[in-house]
Amino acid sequence: MIAAFRALHPSVRIRLLTTFLSKVFGTTVLPFMGLLFAREAGAAVAGLLLGAQYVVQFVVGLYGGAASDSLGRRRMMVWGEAIKVIAFLVMLLAALTGQLLWPIFAALLVLAVGNGLSGPAGEALLIDASTPDDRAFMYAVNYWGNNLGYLLGAPLGALLFGNHLSVLMGLLAAMSGVILWVTARFIRDVHRPRPRHDRAPVGVGALAASYRQVATDRPFLWFTLSGVLILTLEFARTSFLAVRLDEDLRGGQVQVPLLGELTFDGPRALALLSAENTFLIVIGTAAVATFLTRRDPRRWMLVGFALFGLGYSAVMLLSVPWALLLAGVVFSVGELLYVPSRQAVLAEMVDPARRGAYMAVGSMVFQFGKLLAAGGLILWPLLGQEGLVTLMLGFTVLGGLIGWWSSARVTAPGAQAAAAD
């Protein structure tokens, strides 16, 4: 695996490293923002403030994606990282002065702008500087880094967020400065934008023209819909599944050898499944990345979809601890297979001249997946638990079929060279 990592383009290696560092330090603070806002202003206001941040990031992301096609990936990434440094410095100042709510909310909006500029450009850079043969491996490493970063950062944040917020903010601001320097110093563009004198300004008209092409690419839009359907199951973990486990396991007990009888309620079951999922991804990514190298990503994407859907559907029905853990293994293996495979397929589907715009639109799967998952709570009283699980299985089948059909033009790595021989 180390040799394969070294074989990646230097800009890809730097991007994977900075993404990992950003995840480690970001998860010490950012996942707890909702808790901070709820404490300061109540749950309803917290939801509105976080929602405003997501909207800003999505809108700016549309601009950042198209602008990276015109102005270059590195420029947009440097701009975005510089804005993020400003946001984290404002957060640090707020933590030091004790004025938390509105200064930190303003800083989160600034952070959303930075993420919107740098995110699509960074995703497009990974495609620019990779080949079909190494993309599944590259995305598996990226996925492993994100999960390991969460595993390292979240516990530290949980320990220090309450009483040492300024220390965490200081670490986050310092690391953000390091990431800015590394990005500006070592990232190199593979995508070459048009010469300055031949460029149209990146205004409303240019944005409309860029996304007009994306909107007419029907296979890509269908593939995006496939991702929305599959990710609905993923985000059901924090909506329907969390509520279901809390109701069905309330006051539950489990007999553990050597430890005796322990409480096994909904929150503990959900925490156990999340820990199991993260652990399996961290230890299993190397083997899966090696396995997927030079294999047909479409085929293994479909296998991953099937295992993911079956495992999650079982988790939504089961209440016995060992059965839940076994189902967790199944959906974790499915997740390990489908995430890098789907990203490799997506990379082959986008127009090289408009990769930033395509990646900005492709990120919509997360927002719409969360929306559909939240809708499961509304449908639960109407469909019942078994009916909702059946609907989720239907999403899995439909998402898999749409994903397979819409990506038919993607060939397996090495297939063209083999055909030429």
Interval 234-284: pLDDT, tens? 877 766 777 777 777 776 666 555 555 666 677 778 778 888 888 899 899
Last residue in a domain, options 136, 156, 190: 190
Same domain, 286 and 339: yes
Same domain, 63 and 176: yes
**In this structure, is residue 220 part of a structural domain?**
yes
Same domain, 229 and 357: yes
Nearest to 256 by CA among 275, 272, 274, 270: 272
The answer to whether the beta carbons of residues 125 and 190 sit under 8 Å apart is yes
Rounded CA-CA distance 407/389 in Å is: 27
Domain that holds residue 288: 211-409
pLDDT at position 34 over 90: no
The answer to whether the beta carbons of residues 368 and 125 sit under 8 Å apart is no
Global confidence as pTM:
0.81
Rounded CA-CA distance 88/90 in Å is: 5
Last residue in a domain, options 159, 190, 221: 190
Query: How many domains does the chain contain in total?
Result: 2
What is residue 35's DSSP assignment? H
Interval 110-158: pLDDT, tens? 999 999 999 999 999 999 999 888 888 999 999 899 989 988 888 888 7
Backbone φ and ψ of 119, nearest 5°: -60, -60
C-alpha distances (whole Å) from 349 to each of 74, 135, 193 are: 22, 13, 20
Backbone φ and ψ of 309, nearest 5°: -65, -40
Q: What residues contact residue 83 under an 8 Å CB cut-off, 6+ apart?
A: 110, 111, 113, 114, 117
Backbone region of residue 191 per phi and psi (left: phi > 0; alpha: psi in -120 to 50; beta: other values):
beta
Same domain, 136 and 165: yes
**In this structure, is residue 387 part of a structural domain?**
yes
CATH at residue 401: 1.20.1250.20
Rounded CA-CA distance 33/48 in Å is: 12
Same domain, 219 and 315: yes
Same domain, 172 and 46: yes
Interval 67-79: pLDDT, tens? 888 888 999 999 9
| Three-class SS state of 256 | strand
CA dihedral sign, ordered 119, 125, 128, 131: negative
Question: Looking at residue 418, what is its pLDDT?
Answer: 44
